[in-house]
Structure 1
């Protein structure tokens, strides 16, 4: 009930890293846990109430962005004032620098005691998509608590992450937390539209010569009951994002009166073109990305004969892809998707329009490029009366490393398994939507996306209780071990 759900998440990242002492590019230093075990483990009852009320207050500020040109700027300014009010320790600590970027976004630089350690970046955004009045059980900006859940725009995407990051930092500072490793927190104001805030933050860090150990943003969940007859929860860490292209199709013909219509009209020609696009999906791409790795990793969790099929995905590719095509979510994992989103034509019932326009959104598989998808689209339409105009486009993001030496990925994996012991399966995946993290590829090769949130199929259309606070507490404040791959590094210092 809260909002779009395709690629949302930054918290787990935050969890892990936000105060975790992380390594140099060559690995983790065993002495980077001096203060972790001395931070009190529990939040008081008063602190927990304050956390909840702070999130409610954030939800009540309607930080809606419609486009680059149109946003509720009054609310964006109000949100900036709100974080000053709710997190006074963060904003008054001497080793924390706060900057407002691109008028409304926020960058926090938390300076560590050891400048030789490479910093990392935690990201979230506080803008939300518009909320139509109809279709809500409760008002979208009420922050109402009901049956253990808080309702409203931003509860899942992404004010939960914003508030969890700052709340965790606030409470650790109160507990005399002093980081050894520097890190940044970036809070974007327009992720839902253009991402200019994050772009400016990235440019600012680059101008200062910053290189990052890794980045954590929204983009993965703990998936529960998404696979039929498979009851184990699966933690999905996003290691890449699909590309995107918004393509405008346009047909120009002579206008006329409906009493004497021509054989073909702009509407008819364009309708046929978009119908061909809808009826001709982009080709399946099976070998690229993380899918083959994931299938092999999951194989042992299934009984015979499924285990043998998944253990040999290339041999059984036709069978696997035929199954995956049947579900919109799994279908999106094996191809570039085509979504017809806007169709415009006509102004009067008895006037044949001269112009018809349609917008198509493509989410581009990591095995393709924008140019390849554009050429395929033109070949499918195969009508030179249809004009093509690329409105916005970018290629898929590089796949971040997720092997045993990948610091950010391993920290997330170990923390997930420590905090959620029932989750013993962690897999790399591709984010089907897009996040602000795509603007930071010049600063690091390790960009990861995750939120400590249980997602079930029915939750895609409604709000679900959020466990971000517990993840912060367990992952940082208690200094849970991140285990073997991290040289016994513990939690946060």
Structure 2
């Protein structure tokens, strides 16, 4: 973080060094969620004890109420001085997916620092937000700050395995109390720099909805036998053919029926010639644009319900024809479709009664949040993004392909992560020290900006930390 500190005071440098140390220790706690029944609850309890130790101002404040929900999740109620102002909510989760050490440059729970990056499971998903929110609040409290607008902080413990004990119980608790939110901020979209062809400057995408999801199990069962007398089709062959049909026949292209249309329209003027003309006249060029978007996985996910075969299990021995074969497929549902529609399409595509299909989990996409000049959250995000990231040229609405806690609470989200691509849930998950410090700065500024009564205008960047 030395480069980030050059233009700041020595005090600010010390603050960020402390923040990085706190964050690194949090990454080392292996809060792994394998399934709803298989959680590292010992580590989750340790995480709870750890945040109480390193954020003393948060836990001792007279206007902050802390509650444990579902045994391991955390809900903070920060009481503002003006009860007439509608509150908001900041969301994150402490749990991470499993991380076998094979293939990692550094052990996944070592939080190793290398060439300006912190490596470890959870650095991007999602301890950066969980610790970042509390760190920003701790900094504000140490400056004797008292917010005017109330807000909530929710940190779930089982988001990676559907969030039934954490986020769902937090949502139920707030609903029972009659809480209404002006907006909430969760993990999701990013600042895109060099990702969108034809757009030279960084673009911040605020996800105003979230894809739905349906996970299906596929099973084929037959009599077992010896490999020397194989049947014409084995259980593996039948199921593999079904999976191939699903991959070779993606669900329909829905460009123009979801928030991706708003994204392109808002970005139209940012494209270089002749793309600016094409994007400004989608009534004519929409078929061409939709085909181009379908070429790359990152943009293809914007325009349709995606299909991902994630698990395949069969066989017990090299000379035994297996009696069963099983596969699991996860579909992320476009905002213009429903889970029931996806299931019907899948059945028609598989078109084989020998393949049994069972629904593991399903939920529809979230409603699309408003994006207009009268939406408080939109103005707050725009102002705070431009304050914190002066190189960002545009702030536009979009969609979130990843799923977060907010699907159990409400439907507005944005997360200030930069380039992460396949590192989330993959090998060598990491975050740069600079970006983590920027995340704290963003959250620090967001909380302060929310105290306004009026819809704000973006202003020059300030470094109050």
1:253 lines up with 2:217 in the alignment: no
Residue among 412, 416, 426 paired with 2:381: 412
Which residue is equivalent to 2:101?
A: 133
* Secondary structure of 1:185 counterpart: strand
2: CA distance, partners of 1:127 / 1:121:
19
- 1:318, distance to aligned residue in structure 2 (A): 2.1
- 1:254, distance to aligned residue in structure 2 (A): 2.2
Matches within 5 A, 1:51-450: 51-196=19-164, 197-228=166-197, 230-441=199-410, 446-450=411-415
Deviations 1:269-296 (A, max 9, x none): 2121111111111111112111222222
- 1:219, distance to aligned residue in structure 2 (A): 0.6
Residue among 3, 13, 17 paired with 1:49: 17
- 1:449, distance to aligned residue in structure 2 (A): 2.0
* Secondary structure of 2:282 counterpart: coil
- 1:179, distance to aligned residue in structure 2 (A): 1.5
Q: 278-287 or 227-236: which moved more? A: 227-236
- 8 Å CA contact 2:308–2:331 kept in 1: the answer is yes
Residue among 418, 427, 436 paired with 1:454: 418
* Secondary structure of 1:448 counterpart: coil
Deviations 1:273-323 (A, max 9, x none): 111111111111112111222222222222332112111223212211221
Which residue is equivalent to 2:3?
A: none
* Secondary structure of 2:327 counterpart: strand
Change (3 A) 1:141 1:456: closer
1: CA distance, partners of 2:443 / 2:95:
26
1: CA distance, partners of 2:458 / 2:232:
73
- 8 Å CA contact 1:41–1:477 kept in 2: the answer is no
- 8 Å CA contact 2:188–2:207 kept in 1: the answer is yes
2: CA distance, partners of 1:186 / 1:339:
30
Higher relative contact order (CA 8 A, sep 6+): 1
2: CA distance, partners of 1:283 / 1:376:
10
- 8 Å CA contact 1:239–1:430 kept in 2: the answer is yes
Deviations 1:236-257 (A, max 9, x none): 1111111111111112222222
- 1:471, distance to aligned residue in structure 2 (A): 5.0
- 8 Å CA contact 1:405–1:485 kept in 2: the answer is no
Deviations 1:425-453 (A, max 9, x none): 11111111100100013xxxx522222x3
- 8 Å CA contact 2:124–2:429 kept in 1: the answer is no
2: CA distance, partners of 1:88 / 1:215:
25
- 1:489, distance to aligned residue in structure 2 (A): 9.5
* Secondary structure of 1:118 counterpart: coil
- 8 Å CA contact 2:89–2:153 kept in 1: the answer is yes
- 8 Å CA contact 2:183–2:412 kept in 1: the answer is yes
2: CA distance, partners of 1:247 / 1:459:
25
Change (3 A) 1:83 1:464: closer
2: CA distance, partners of 1:396 / 1:109:
28
Q: 426-435 or 147-156: which moved more? A: 147-156
Structure 1 runs not aligned, ≥5 long? 1-39
* Secondary structure of 2:342 counterpart: helix
Which residue is equivalent to 1:4?
A: none
Deviations 1:220-269 (A, max 9, x none): 11111113353211101111111111111112222222232222322222
- 8 Å CA contact 2:387–2:458 kept in 1: the answer is no
- 8 Å CA contact 1:141–1:153 kept in 2: the answer is yes
Deviations 1:157-181 (A, max 9, x none): 1111111111111121111111222
- 1:483, distance to aligned residue in structure 2 (A): 10
Change (3 A) 1:400 1:70: same
